[in-house]
Structure 1
Amino acid sequence: MTIPILRCAVLDDFQGVSTSLADWSPVADRVSVTAFRRHHGSEEELATALADFDIVVTLRERVPFPASLFARLPRLKLLIASGMRNSVIDYAAAEEHGVTVCGTASSGTPPVELTWALLLGLARGIVQENTALREGGPWQSTVGADLHGRVLGILGLGRIGTLVARVGLAFGMDVVAWSRNLTDERAARAGVRRAADKEELLRESDFVSVHLASNEGTRGLVGAAELALMKPEAYLVNTSRAAIVDQDALLAALTAGRIAGAAVDVFDTEPLPADHPLRTAPRLLATPHLGYVSRDNYRRYYGEAVEDIAAFLAGKPIRRLG
């Protein structure tokens, strides 16, 4: 009896590493893998590309899976998302269409490390000075901002925010945190102060780093009014979710020079269109959503995706979401 081969699509494998950073041999006799290195920008394009696939592996929350898309993918039986939380998958629709949704583990370490790479890059003008050095520009044109003794404000003291705070303390910074549910006790356990409200944190901080989950309560949490509270010499870093910081308000603040600078790893539209004004915004250090992109994290994502597929084929799905 011939065992049917299922087709598995891996979305947004920009670096082409999904099959080299994981061992797919446990499912090789049952599954053929196709990695897409180009992003599918519309539901129409995505539905066409995935029409003949039984399994889809998607990275983070870049690709929405609404009810309308599930309805156009009758062959789809298993959807695997990296991480154990995904706000852009319609789980009820997945169940209605007979699609099992599973996740993988995800390390908080890579986004913490990127947060500090961006913050330090802003503070010391790394990109500007490196560009000038390589292109024969001026020898020293910036005056770096100090970290020691300055106030680091953290919006969201969860798993990642706590690790960011720990590094700030190691730099000798005065760390203050705020979120709606943060208590004095939790803040004290992390070695930081709790701000009375987000306004106090924004007024007081020399550096603000965002580490909140995106939901109805946090969307647009930092808008024009909040940015206006920040010191003119303060910096904002967002490696969390784009929707938390109003993108247009941030662009306006940077253009007007109302804050010293910002670093952003997340955007309302990803990949960012080539003509998007953020690509040329002044005082902005931007990276293409690299927070989760590290060798160990990719090994975890794709390795556990293989485990999810093997368990599904055995009739015992693991790490189910929904």
Structure 2
Amino acid sequence: MASNRKKVLVLGTLHPDGMALLEGRDDVEFEVIEDISEENLLRHAPGTHGIAVRVARITRSIIEAAGCLEVVSRHGVGYDSVDVAACTDNGVRLAIAPRSNAPSVAEQTMMFLLALAKQVAVYDPLVRRGDWDKRFRTQAIDLDGRTLLVVGLGRIGSRVVRRAQAFDMRVLGYDPYVAPDAIRAMGAEPVADYRAVLGDVDALTVHCPRNDETLGMIGAAELAALRPGALVVNCARGGLVDEAALVAAIRSGHIAGAGVDVFDVEPPAADHPFFQEPRILMTPHSAGASLESLKRAAVQTVENILATFDGTLDPAVVVNKAVLQRTEAS
């Protein structure tokens, strides 16, 4: 006898708090898939109603093979690995977990700014090598009184604004999709054109999705326009800051340091030029992977699937809202 329970595929490991939500539903059966190759997912896809996904690629073939798929729920806010058009074409909601990683990435951004300003990468090895007398050859700086430009003022960027204010920084904010009054309410000075203010900026951080509008938005010209000795941070998506231009600006000395959590190609190649530059601090796309963030992401990822089954999914977490409009119209 065929089961009338909803079938959910969990691709990868989720925090136990998220799994507990699935375990608590008698009307749901789930399977955890560790082999996330497309070939294996195609074998498991038929009859699937919901997919919880961390890093697997969700292709059109997988979506269509399911046959009755209702929702793909991303463990986080990025969805580069999901075929959005295929979801929309097949009436599948693509949901994200917006409350998951915003505090974590905002803190990572401030960590980079502080570590760069205070020359941690230089001072720590001096202590370990016993080169105490060389400590004054490197000059740390204060964030206090410096001007920070935050490009992108969504869930993460708005939090960076508040944290930078706590360090008494002057904060400029750019986001063409956020009203100037809302930017002021965050505590930032709104700017209409981020390129026009670069000459006043000591530190720049980007918090935007990767798309045709944002790809390469910080290139050689933008880096050259920053104040000499500026700091650059990218905890958003690879490609927003041109990697070759950043290396060149670091090597010329115009940019004093950079913090990078994301790369054009991940993982980066073994001969990536960033590896030769001690003034570029790097983390492995892990800014949003704190203990708390993973818990929040797992819970909301599963909540979004169950809410879809229950008809209570919050439209605010749905990427392809055209599916919701089509459902309402029918």
TM-score (norm 1): 0.80
Give, as a single letter, the amino acid of the residue that structure 2 aligns with 1:124. K
Partner in structure 2 of residue 123 of structure 1: 117
Which protein is richer in helix relative to its size? Answer: 2
Distance 1:197 1:32, change over 3 A: closer
In structure 1, how many angstroms separate the alpha carbons of the residues matched to 2:15 and 2:270?
Answer: 26
Determine the C-alpha separation between the residues in 2 that align with 1:68 and 1:33.
20
Change (3 A) 1:95 1:203: closer
Matched, 1:306 2:302: yes
Alignment of 1:55-204 (within 5 A): 56-59=51-54, 64-67=57-60, 70=63, 73-74=65-66, 77=69, 78-83=71-76, 86-96=79-89, 99=92, 101-107=94-100, 108-134=102-128, 136-139=129-132, 140=135, 142-181=138-177, 184-195=180-191, 197-204=193-200
Aligned to 1:238: 234
The two structures, once aligned, show a CA RMSD in angstroms of 3.1
Cα distance, 1:216–1:132 mapped onto 2, change above 3 Å: same
Quote the Cα distance in structure 1 between the aligned partners of 2:177 and 2:95: 29
Q: Whole-Å Cα distance in 2 between the matches of residues 174 and 103 of structure 1? A: 32
Matches of 1:85 and 1:213 in 2, distance apart? 8
Superposed CA deviations along residues 279-307 of structure 1, whole A, max 9, x for unmatched, are 33341011111222122221222223333
How far 1:112 sits from its partner (Å)? 0.9
Match of residue 40, structure 2, among 41, 45, 49: 49
Change (3 A) 1:238 1:33: same
1:43 corresponds to: none
The aligned residue for residue 323 of structure 2 is: none
Match of 2:44, as an amino acid? F
Cα offset, 1:142, TM superposition: 2.8
Cα 1:275–1:191 shift into 2, 3 Å:
same
Give the partner amino acid of 1:192.
A
Tell me the secondary structure at the aligned position of residue 148 of structure 2. strand
| 1:277 and 2:277 correspond | no
Aligned length: 305
Which among 211, 218, 232 is matched to residue 215 of structure 1? 211
What residue identity is the alignment partner of 2:72?
L
Distance 1:270 1:124 in 2: 28
Indicate the structure whose relative CO is greater, using CA pairs within 8 Å and at least 6 residues apart.
2
- Going from structure 1 to structure 2, the CA distance change for 1:103 and 1:213 (only over 3 Å counts) comes to closer
The two structures have a TM-score, normalised by structure 2, of 0.78
Partner of 1:33: 32
Q: Is the 8 A contact 2:205 2:233 kept in 1?
A: yes
Residue 204 of structure 1, CA deviation: 0.9
Moved more, 62-71 or 198-207: 62-71
Query: For residue 18 of structure 1, what is the aligned residue in structure 2?
Result: 15
